[in-house]
Structure 1
Amino acid sequence: MIETGPADRATTPAVGATSEVGRLRTVLLHRPGPELRRLTPRNNDQLLFDGVPWVGRAQEEHDAFAAALTDRGVEVLYLDRLLAEVLSLPSARAELIAAAVDDPRLGGTLQRIATAHLGDLAPEDLAGTLIAGLAHDELRGGRGLAYEVMDRGDFVVPPLPNLLFTRDSSVWVADEVAVTSLAMPARHRESTITAAVYTHHLRFAGVEQLYGARLEHLEGGDVLLLAEGVVAVGVGERTTPGGAERLARRVFARGLAHTVLVVPIAQQRATMHLDTICTMVDVDAMVMYPAVAHSLMAWTVTVPDGSPAEDDRAELSVTGPQPFVVAAAAAMGIDRLRVIDTGLDPVTAEREQWDDGNNTLALAPRLAVAYERNTVTNAALEAAGIEVVSIAGSELGSGRGGPRCMSCPITRDPL
């Protein structure tokens, strides 16, 4: 377990990533905690979990995941620790407290009381409350109409159980970080927390923010760095075409990419993000859900030759659609993009896709972390020359996310 703290920028490692498979050096995780204990059969759907997880077991599974990373030389940063450190700064405290009570359910009286309650907390306690939420009966001096009509178990500040999935609220493109705009109301404050860490923590001093939470919906699980200069963006349940276009314009304007592939995916829970159906496992290979391997299409977005790309009004060239694997290979400058043939029958394929069998985290080329329960997919990966680091995920997976979803690479080696 790596301790983190505000550090002098000159002594910290470089940040950024240009691919999905360069050797992973530093990663951002969030160990699940009290926020998961807030889940009940009454609220788990609203909070985007498919069940009520066994929290102790989920923590054991997450600790084993983190250990698998550190055992292979990866520095692990924990989001709650970074958050507690920035909350020692008055500007960060004010910003995050204001975001926590910016809720029309509360009314003016309850907003003022909740603001005062949060403002009295020490940084670590405040970090814990911003993540785990603040229930009606936990608020000191609660009063006012909104407070009186609340049930005892209602939340003044809702919990953030999905903070576990750190990939969604930020993604690095080269040496800039895109703080994303999360689509589901239950997740909006995650971006606020992530943005505050990147803005105020000395570990990230000088880092440019490529995107923002108030822009069109864009989630990190939909963004894949296929190769240096080539970004794929899934559009579907969570990321809008407008978000993909905005990201494309910005990466072009800043010289971070030359091609963006926009990939429509089904707008349903099982395929909420592009990384639920495919992830990179080698410089020229990905594992992909067999049901979409031959039907997934892509639009290729570039800047026409001679056209300026300095701002969001730049002209874009949009061509296609083409089969995704064909468009990806062309953009990456390779003969073909290998798709790992999992050889699954339709029922097993659907089961293992639901259990995040395609949601792998590459630690290096041909080395990936995957949930152990997806035995057939993992066997196919190993047969294709991919070393699989298997981890348990029976409880972690109840929020519909695998190893890639649970990790935001901060630093990868270039290929």
Structure 2
Amino acid sequence: MNHGANSEVGQLRSVLLHRPGPELQRLTPRNNDRLLFDGIPWIERAQEEHDAFAETLRGRGVEVLYLTGLLTETLADAEAREHAIAAALTGLHLGDTLRRYLADALADATPAELTELLTAGVRNDEVRGGFGLVTSLLAHDDFLIDPLPNLLFTRDSSVWLADRVAVTSLAMPARARETQLTELIWSRHPRFAGQTRIHGWAHEHVEGGDVLLLAPGVVAVGVGERTTPAGVERLARHLLHAGLAHTVLAVPIAQERATMHLDTVLTMVDVDTLVMYPNVADSLTAWTVTAAEPSDTESELELRVAGPAPFLQAAATAMGIDVLHRIDTGLDPVAAEREQWDDGNNTLAVAPKVAVAYERNEGTNARLEDAGIEVLRIAGSELGSGRGGPRCMSCPIARELL
């Protein structure tokens, strides 16, 4: 299968998901804020909801791949194992004695066991050796390797742009290690051998939830709580130099939890239509970034920056259309605010005019259907506790090109 995408709405062919697992059992009222969850999810129900989400996609002919499955297959390679273990043990809180012990213990694990240890984490009271000063002074329930409960949101740690996969750089410390695992998959799993990768976890912060492929050649990137201006500049420079885009729109968004990513306020549901949070529709702006002139080297490419302009206007101009149509979240300002918080804007298009959405956002779903969009409703009472909807929980690997 060819991998890649040039839009948000081309027929979805293959997608990366992560089924909630033992990493969610690590959440407690004392650590859930640090691990970026607004509550403690009921894990069995979250798994049921996620399984139904996956079946909805399969029912539309989408190949569903699971992150932990791909990671386990990747870790069968000795060099990949060494790389993963070394990356997991770089924390300055471990000390040499404990780091050596953990390195040996992880090296003895099977690929499946290592996958669970890297994703669910390791607590101090689970260590059966390495009893030096660090293990003596840490609390019994302190994590030596932190769990990764946000792996559920596979959109953020990588994004496919045309035929290349951008490994992103996540801003929050609780998520920083996720991209090291996704980079390992894209670089060392046999299915993706030779795949061209761009950006990378060591570069300026860019998160996949902020990156929207509005149309072939047009990429919008939110700039807010997670993605930085420097991150957008580096990504834009690469896309423009490589000919993967002719226009990049940098879109400032409020730096707050409710609008952590651009896809919390708008997502595409058709080639010329998006669902949008109306409370920001009139104030959202965009800076248009294009290449001033060709350059032999990416680093020397001069960028032309224009704006700001109203987002809908700037986007339509870049897309070469008269109007970018907007469907509002909710039925009134209060309902809009409630449904935006419940990820009413965060839809996943599986084809033009067909989108997956949380069933609880009744007002938004009614508006979508009135506009001719087929809504594939899924339950998300537990999945949404980490503040993410169907788009957040999916990383398209292959879409039909527009």
* Interval of TM-score (by shorter of Structure 1 and Structure 2): over 0.9
Instruction: Describe the shift of the 1:309–1:332 C-alpha distance in structure 2 as closer, same or farther (beyond 3 A).
Output: farther
CA distance in 2, matches of 1:373, 1:285: 22
Q: Compute the TM-score of the two structures, normalised by the length of structure 1.
A: 0.96
Tell me, in whole angstroms, the C-alpha distance in 2 between the residues paired with 1:345 and 1:257.
Answer: 36
* CA distance in 2 between partners of 1:103 and 1:343 (Å): 44
Unaligned residue ranges in structure 2 (runs of 5+): none
2:335 maps to which residue? 348
AA of the residue aligned to 1:121: A
| 1:248 matched residue in structure 2 | 236
Of 255, 265, 284, the match for 1:277 = 265
TM-score (norm 2): 0.99
Q: CA RMSD in A?
A: 0.9
Structure 1 residues 95 and 290, CA, compared in 2 at 3 Å: closer, same or farther?
A: same
**1:10-409 residue pairs with structure 2 within 5 A?**
13-304=1-292, 306-308=293-295, 310-342=297-329, 344-409=331-396
CA contact (8 A) 1:53 1:396 kept: yes
| 8 A contact 1:216–1:242 mirrored in 2 | yes
SS state of the match for residue 209, structure 2? helix
Gaps of 5+ in 1: 1-12
Whole-angstrom CA distance in 1 between matches of 2:102 and 2:362: 48
Q: Match for 2:309: what amino acid?
A: Q
Tell me the CA shift for residue 145 of structure 1: 1.1
Amino acid aligned to 1:375: E
Percent identical residues: 66
Q: Summarize deviations over 1:64-101 as a string: whole Å, max 9, x none.
A: 00000001100000000100011111111011101111
Note the alpha carbon deviations across 1:321-363, whole angstroms, 9 max, x for none. 0000000000000001000134632221111000000000000
Q: Aligned with 1:168: secondary structure?
A: coil
8 Å CA contact retained: 2:329, 2:344:
no
1:412 alignment partner in structure 2: 399
Q: What is residue 3 of structure 1 aligned with on the other side?
A: none
Q: Give the whole-Å Cα distance in 1 for the aligned partners of 2:392 and 2:152.
A: 8
What amino acid maps onto 2:355 in structure 1? Answer: A
* CA apart distance, 1:111: 0.8
CA distance in 1, matches of 2:115, 2:294: 46
Question: Contact 2:330 / 2:361 at 8 angstroms: preserved in 1?
Answer: no
Task: Kindly indicate whether the alpha-carbon contact (under 8 Å) linking 1:132 and 1:159 is maintained by their aligned counterparts in 2.
Answer: yes
Deviations 1:17-72 (A, max 9, x none): 00000000000000010000000000000000000000000000000000000011
- Give deviations 1:208-232, integer Å, cap 9, x for gaps: 1111000000000000000000000
For the Cα contact (< 8 Å) 1:303–1:309, is it kept in 2? Answer: no
Contact kept, 8 Å, 1:254 with 1:310, in 2: the verdict is: no
The structural deviation recorded for 1:140 is 2.3
Measured at CA, do residues 341 and 188 of structure 1 come closer, stay the same or move farther in structure 2, by a change above 3 Å?
closer
Cα gap change, 1:352 to 1:309, in 2 (>3 Å): farther
**Secondary structure of 1:287's aligned partner:** strand
Equivalent pairs, count: 402
Q: 1:309 to 1:402 in 2, by over 3 A?
A: farther
Contact 2:29-2:40 at 8 Å conserved across structures:
yes
Q: Is the 8 A contact 2:329 2:340 kept in 1?
A: no
Query: Contact 2:97–2:130 at 8 Å: present in 1 too?
Result: no
* 1:259-300 per-position Cα deviation (integer Å, ceiling 9, x unaligned): 000000000000000000000000000000010111100000
